Structure 1
Amino acid sequence: MKITKYIYSLLAVVMMAFMTGCSPDEYALGEKDLSSDDLVEGIAYTITHDSNNPNIIYLKSLLPSNYAVTFDTPQGRFQANSATLKIPFNGEYQARIGVTTRGGFLWGPYADFTVEDFCSEFVDDPLWTYISGGVGKSKTWKLDIDANALTRHSDLWAGPLGFWGVDDDWSTCFLGQTASAGDHWNWTPDIAGNGWVMTAMDYGYMTFDLIGGAHVTVHNNETGEEWRGTYMLDTDNHTITLSDAELLHNSGHDGVVTNWSKSLKLMGLDDDRLQIAALRDNSSEGPCLLCYNFCSQDYWDNWKPVVDETPVTPTLMEGWRSLIQNPTNREITFKLAEDGDEDGFAFGYCNLDGSVKDATLSANDGIEDATLVLYYGGTDATNTYTYTAPDGSAITGTYTLDDNGIFTFSNGLGNTSLGANYNMSTNADNTLRIMSVTKDDYTGALKSVWLGKQCIDDQGNLFQYQGYHWKAQTAGAAVKKYKGVLNYFSTGFAVTLTSSDVFITGDGDYTFTINGANSEPYGIYLDIAKLYADNNNCDVIIKSIKVDGNEISFDDATIDRGTADGDHSTARRYIVNPWGKTADEASKFSFTSSIEVTVHVTYDTGENKMEPTEVGAKRN
């Protein structure tokens, strides 16, 4: 029996060797079966001109069909056994063939060919006119951003650079068509709020012409470089190829793209809009299209911002009046906020919309003794106030509050120095405007009020407010609370969902629930604001995850611990991190009704769990 098995095994080996020897694929693994000298015109491929229109050039492979062939041409690269070029301009051109072998990819030498005449019908397509201005003309395009982070074509995009799926193209971008399959998504961030995308500056220009040929000049203000070359449009496939030049782009993305010139995708083009995408193929974040957005020089020069003549006023939260004039809690005592507390500072300057400007002013000693007491009596005659200055002097009177949030104090508030060159008082007519109102998310009670005095320029225009930050005082020591929220976003950030606020008041278990439905999960993270700032040794342990009521498996150790982007005061657990260890877990979170996450919060574990590299140092 053993002899029989041996004979069968020997026969099998002989048959495999025979079949391998008969295979047409005779080159050895790891060795090229061709040399560059084999990949020449006339042996590996042919270049021929159309008999009726010599501006049409045919490239055809002569290699066996088992070779994967790529043609490198003046109109880009074609991964096919043949390619048809439509070259409008006379001149000398080059092409070559490349082959994929088991030993790697191999290019042959360039072959020259000549186009004798100009073929006007090949530049009749409107795209040639849009990009160059037409035959005998030139047109300049500007990357749509300047030093003020201003994007002029904000009606089309939020900023100069968009991120798109690798399968997106002219149809999904310019035509807005929906693709049924493939990697399709997009996100175009504004530069003002996303400075990491690129530095805000005037990056220069690209000029395309059709003057005796198709020429391009690219001037990069960031690097000082200038390229002069030619370009070719493939109007059928919506690509553009630059020769001796690169697409104008920011240097911050140099290393993540290996090709800034060949067969770039034309994503959009009309009279004052140009979008060209290069493939990000060398990034740890994976491949995508980097779509650079340009506007024409004419549009850039003649653009004017839309001026909204509607007066800018603060938008106050819903129910603001009932918080201040509360019939249940008729008397409210206010003190100026303490500098550096979690709610801001005692005073500062406010924009016309009520937002506080980012400027910290030094406060005088003793201003914490200033007190404002409002009593809501229900009528103008019974609504009273008492302002007590830091020196103990008091001003009393009645007040009114209109629907626009404007207080009128019958006897004003005196004149109190809060800091160097900064005094607190009312306007000349004894009014102050409410800039903003906040409430305690946990109790729903009034938390603070910013009151503003008008600042008028020498032309009589209101340009900002001088703000005073009054915090409502509550009896007893309040329990410190931290607001937690579970966040969900889908592919391309098309859908974002959040849980209701959950307030963390001490060590224990807390459950966060997102209600809704989505079938394209991309990222899920839990944030607890300010928890890490106050408790560097805290920990947030994932205890349970349910999708549509069903428990799903997880490993708490693989779920990223850390703090929020740009905010190291907030503790974060990144349950599904598209850029982290749990990226492949996203499919588990496709849901039809709810996602529920239960965590255990510990304020002090004895060591820094969330950001151990910080060695316990507080960061605010």
Structure 2
Amino acid sequence: MVKTINLIIMNYLNKIFLFLFIGTMMLLASCSPDEYALGNTDVKPGDLVEGIAYKIEHDAANPNIVYLKSLMGSKYTPLWSHPQGRSQEQTVTLKMPFAGTYNVVFGVETRGGVVYGDTATFKIDDMYAEFVSDPMWTKVAGGAGKSKTWYLDLDADATSRYFLGPIYFFTNTYTWDNLHNAAGDNYLDADAWDATKAITPNLSETGTATWYWLADYPGNSWMCDAADFGSMTFDLIGGANITVDQEAYGLGKSTGSYMLDVDKHTITFSDAYPVHDSNRDAEMKAATEFRILYLTDDAMQIMVVPSGACYNFISKEYKDNWVPGEVADPEPALPDGWQDDISQTVNKSITWKLSETNPLDWCNLDGTRMNGWNSPADYPSWLGTLDASVYKNFSMTLNSDDLTANFVAPDGTKTACTYTLDEKGIYTFSTEIPSFAVIGWANFSADSNKQLRIMSIEKDASGAVTGMWLGAKDAVKPEYTGYHLVPSASGSATADPLKAWKTALIGKTFTPDTGWFIDWLNFDLTGGWTSASTFGTDFTSNSWVWDEATSNIAKSATLKFEADGDGMKVTLIQNLTDAEGNVTNGYTVTGKVTINPDAPSMKFEFPLVNYTGGAGAWLNSANPKGAHWTTALSEYEWIFVSHGGSNLSNINTNGFWLGAVANATAAGDSKDEVLAFHYILKQ
């Protein structure tokens, strides 16, 4: 670029003297009050003078309408900073409702960068009430002669009243029209609008990526600490004034003015900033624009550009009159068919014992474990030292045929009773069951209602039950004391621990599922937001990862499993594109696959499907962060994921999932996350 410009300049230098006189005359002739063309000379701040480079004019019929007009010609892109925000139009129309003196800064883009002139001013002599009659002014400030106070929708008790949390997150291309045209009346309606899918970038009509995330505070408290952030009060009393009081929060108090653009749904501030959290104080002060994305009498959302953080506000009246609704306590989510899993699949009578490695933990109301203790070394000193010999003689035998229960306490005491098991997974026993110490001061016992509730069920890759967590509800706190029980003789063990794997895999060929291609899961392999209809032939909704090229690569790929002595081998075939764009059709590689049924995992001798050449080029073909998973994995070792109800027993219909660690807090990432790939039987 620089070389080209130098050649052009040298060419012009050879001719410049010949045309100097003619060029000067043409410049003088072209410089009228309506156009100030600077030609190829550099533009300096002193050139951008009102009346020469641009002009400010009041409408002849209504002096509260002001026109800002560039005189620089179409070769220069104007950059306006004015009372109603920023603009790049050749002519800007301002509708100014209030008397006062206002500033305008004019700049242009040049080949040497952006240049701004000095600040100019214009004056409005009288108020023009019609310009504040739009309902938007009334919703924001209460109407002419009134005021209205707003609060960030989170308080010191971590309560959000209207929204899911105090901040939502958007791509900064979002506008009022963009949001409301995309979601319509469904926006913020949790029953009608699936907010989790809005995390996925979509393309607007202009090809710009647009997405938003309605982040709930309980699940994303990292966004800010719970606090009483203060208030902001808008008024229309002698002007458009704002008072922001965040003194108690540590961000001080300020007064200033604001201006609404009711057509563009934007708001500008002078000498004040909207209420915000201290984490984003710098980005608030660096904002180039504030957009109102959502506005009712009770709620308002202001998005900060360019960050895309959208602050959720509620009115004082709404906050003062809000009454908490009855919110049902979360409950454990048990898998389909769980009754058969723990009662019928193996045997009518199953004997359960406490795990020798992690017999106890505390659980949330949704069944998730609070501490995640998985080994004796994980237990803290304040609880005590785990000694499995203390409780090894305990057993609980449940017979699902006659609904009888037989307990043997660690001291040999026997208790026989009956039980019921309801649809929520709650065991209710007909008599008191044994209570005894498990570790330190923590005991095994049922709750005051003689009940234990299933928190979760554990299975191996073949679908056999390997354990379950039962919880005793705390009488005061919203939690359970959880007990980890494992079947002492489930019948799932075989002489060859890999028999189920070999039966499921050997002699079969699998291919990536182009319908339910991938999903993102937590480290405990829960979660996920994609479905069997997410991908397929839709190459726009998720174009950041899924396009036609990625689909074609997936369709070309197969994994064929074959016996290899006592083990297995696998052959990968795919159309492979290298970094230079060269394509190898039918690229083939064969190697051993090693199964670790305890992880469970599958270890290959080579990378799996490479999606270079498509939007999914960044997708894992190996597992470089695998060492940071709960069980350390090597680079080509993949987590065998039970997701979407799949396991080795139904692999012919449900396929299987292989997961790699996409993010790990132990590696310095902000979260723990598994990226799982779905393979299905090749037809």
- Deviations along 1:405-441, one digit per CA (max 9) or x if unpaired, are 4445566433322344443344577x33223241314
Q: Which amino acid aligns with 1:164?
A: F
For residues 429-444 of structure 1, what are the structure 2 equivalents within 5 Å?
A: 431-444=450-463
- Deviations along 1:578-610, one digit per CA (max 9) or x if unpaired, are xxxxxxxxxxxxxxxx99999999xxxxxxxx9
In structure 1, which of residues 82, 88, 94 is the aligned counterpart of residue 91 of structure 2? 82
> Deviation at 1:354?
4.2
- Deviations along 1:15-57, one digit per CA (max 9) or x if unpaired, are 99559997988766xxx62332222222222222112211111
In structure 1, which of residues 562, 576, 589 is the aligned counterpart of residue 625 of structure 2? 562
**CA separation in 2, counterparts of 1:311 and 1:252?**
31
In structure 2, which of residues 165, 174, 178 is the aligned counterpart of residue 172 of structure 1? 178
Q: Which residue pairs with 2:251 in the alignment?
A: 224
**CA separation in 2, counterparts of 1:328 and 1:557?**
37
Q: Is 2:122 aligned against 1:113?
A: yes
Secondary structure of 2:341's partner?
helix
**CA separation in 2, counterparts of 1:194 and 1:124?**
39
Q: Which amino acid aligns with 2:299?
A: R
Cα distance, 1:246–1:555 mapped onto 2, change above 3 Å? closer
> Deviation at 1:307?
0.5
- Asked whether the 8 Å contact 1:395–1:411 carries over to 2, the reply is no
**CA separation in 2, counterparts of 1:38 and 1:500?**
58
Q: Which residue pairs with 2:609 in the alignment?
A: 544
**CA separation in 2, counterparts of 1:518 and 1:414?**
57
**CA separation in 2, counterparts of 1:410 and 1:18?**
107
**CA separation in 1, counterparts of 2:496 and 2:395?**
21
**CA separation in 1, counterparts of 2:384 and 2:182?**
53
- Asked whether the 8 Å contact 2:139–2:297 carries over to 1, the reply is yes
> Deviation at 1:377?
7.0
Q: Which amino acid aligns with 1:290?
A: A
> Deviation at 1:450?
3.2
- Asked whether the 8 Å contact 2:147–2:235 carries over to 1, the reply is yes
Q: Which amino acid aligns with 1:544?
A: V
Secondary structure of 1:456's partner?
coil
Cα distance, 1:370–1:542 mapped onto 2, change above 3 Å? same
> Deviation at 1:237?
1.7
In structure 2, which of residues 151, 160, 165 is the aligned counterpart of residue 159 of structure 1? 165
In structure 2, which of residues 146, 167, 175 is the aligned counterpart of residue 137 of structure 1? 146
For residues 413-424 of structure 1, what are the structure 2 equivalents within 5 Å?
A: 413-424=433-444
Q: Is 2:176 aligned against 1:150?
A: no
In structure 2, which of residues 334, 349, 352 is the aligned counterpart of residue 334 of structure 1? 352
Q: Which residue pairs with 1:60 in the alignment?
A: 69
Identity of aligned residues (%): 32
**CA separation in 1, counterparts of 2:299 and 2:433?**
56
- Asked whether the 8 Å contact 2:409–2:434 carries over to 1, the reply is no
Cα distance, 1:573–1:192 mapped onto 2, change above 3 Å? farther
**CA separation in 2, counterparts of 1:144 and 1:176?**
24
- Deviations along 1:265-316, one digit per CA (max 9) or x if unpaired, are 2212221121112223xxxxxxx622222111222222222204x6876554
Q: Which amino acid aligns with 1:369?
A: K
- Asked whether the 8 Å contact 2:448–2:475 carries over to 1, the reply is no
Cα distance, 1:191–1:21 mapped onto 2, change above 3 Å? farther
> Deviation at 1:150?
2.9
Secondary structure of 1:294's partner?
strand
Q: Which residue pairs with 1:450 in the alignment?
A: 469
Q: Which amino acid aligns with 1:215?
A: N
Cα distance, 1:304–1:14 mapped onto 2, change above 3 Å? closer
Q: Is 2:408 aligned against 1:387?
A: yes
Q: Is 2:212 aligned against 1:186?
A: yes
Secondary structure of 2:223's partner?
coil
Q: Which residue pairs with 1:469 in the alignment?
A: 484
Cα distance, 1:47–1:183 mapped onto 2, change above 3 Å? same
Q: Is 2:220 aligned against 1:214?
A: no
In structure 2, which of residues 278, 295, 298 is the aligned counterpart of residue 251 of structure 1? 278
Secondary structure of 1:275's partner?
strand
> Deviation at 1:253?
3.3
- Deviations along 1:88-145, one digit per CA (max 9) or x if unpaired, are 1111112131122222211111122211111000000011111101111111111222
**CA separation in 2, counterparts of 1:406 and 1:277?**
46
Q: Is 2:221 aligned against 1:195?
A: yes
> Deviation at 1:250?
2.8
> Deviation at 1:82?
1.6
Q: Which residue pairs with 1:124 in the alignment?
A: 133
**CA separation in 2, counterparts of 1:296 and 1:488?**
48
- Asked whether the 8 Å contact 2:611–2:619 carries over to 1, the reply is no
Identify, as 1 or 2, the structure richer in strand. 1
Q: Which residue pairs with 1:292 in the alignment?
A: 311
Q: Which residue pairs with 1:362 in the alignment?
A: 384
Q: Which residue pairs with 1:304 in the alignment?
A: 323
- Asked whether the 8 Å contact 2:471–2:483 carries over to 1, the reply is yes
- Deviations along 1:521-565, one digit per CA (max 9) or x if unpaired, are 4359xxxxxx9x989xx9985233479xx999969999783259x
**CA separation in 2, counterparts of 1:469 and 1:36?**
74
> Deviation at 1:242?
0.5
In structure 2, which of residues 98, 107, 110 is the aligned counterpart of residue 101 of structure 1? 110
- The farther-off stretch of 200-209 and 359-368 is 359-368
> Deviation at 1:499?
9.8
- Asked whether the 8 Å contact 2:232–2:245 carries over to 1, the reply is yes
Secondary structure of 1:299's partner?
helix
- Deviations along 1:474-521, one digit per CA (max 9) or x if unpaired, are 468996999xxx99999xxxx9944999xxxxxxxxxxxx98454124
- Asked whether the 8 Å contact 1:387–1:413 carries over to 2, the reply is no
In structure 1, which of residues 234, 245, 248 is the aligned counterpart of residue 261 of structure 2? 234
Listed as ranges, the gaps of 5+ residues in structure 2 are: 1-6, 28-36, 185-203, 373-378, 502-510, 523-533, 547-595, 637-653, 669-683
**CA separation in 2, counterparts of 1:105 and 1:134?**
39
> Deviation at 1:368?
3.7
Q: TM-score when scaled to structure 1? A: 0.70
Secondary structure of 2:544's partner?
strand
Q: TM-score when scaled to structure 2? A: 0.64
Secondary structure of 1:543's partner?
coil
- Deviations along 1:355-394, one digit per CA (max 9) or x if unpaired, are 44449643664334132141537225xx3524131x3x23
**CA separation in 1, counterparts of 2:334 and 2:284?**
47
Q: Is 2:329 aligned against 1:320?
A: no
Cα distance, 1:259–1:352 mapped onto 2, change above 3 Å? closer
> Deviation at 1:328?
4.9
Cα distance, 1:370–1:146 mapped onto 2, change above 3 Å? farther
**CA separation in 2, counterparts of 1:546 and 1:410?**
59
Identify, as 1 or 2, the structure richer in helix. 2
- Asked whether the 8 Å contact 1:39–1:97 carries over to 2, the reply is yes
Tell me how many residue pairs correspond in the alignment: 519
- Asked whether the 8 Å contact 1:147–1:201 carries over to 2, the reply is yes
For residues 534-613 of structure 1, what are the structure 2 equivalents within 5 Å?
A: 541-545=606-610, 561-562=624-625
Secondary structure of 2:609's partner?
strand
Listed as ranges, the gaps of 5+ residues in structure 1 are: 1-9, 281-287, 502-513, 525-530, 575-593, 602-609, 615-620
Q: Which residue pairs with 1:606 in the alignment?
A: none
**CA separation in 2, counterparts of 1:223 and 1:488?**
53
- Asked whether the 8 Å contact 1:354–1:436 carries over to 2, the reply is yes
- The farther-off stretch of 126-135 and 310-319 is 310-319
**CA separation in 1, counterparts of 2:69 and 2:159?**
49
**CA separation in 2, counterparts of 1:569 and 1:496?**
25
Cα distance, 1:64–1:553 mapped onto 2, change above 3 Å? closer
**CA separation in 2, counterparts of 1:51 and 1:229?**
30
> Deviation at 1:234?
0.9
Secondary structure of 2:178's partner?
helix
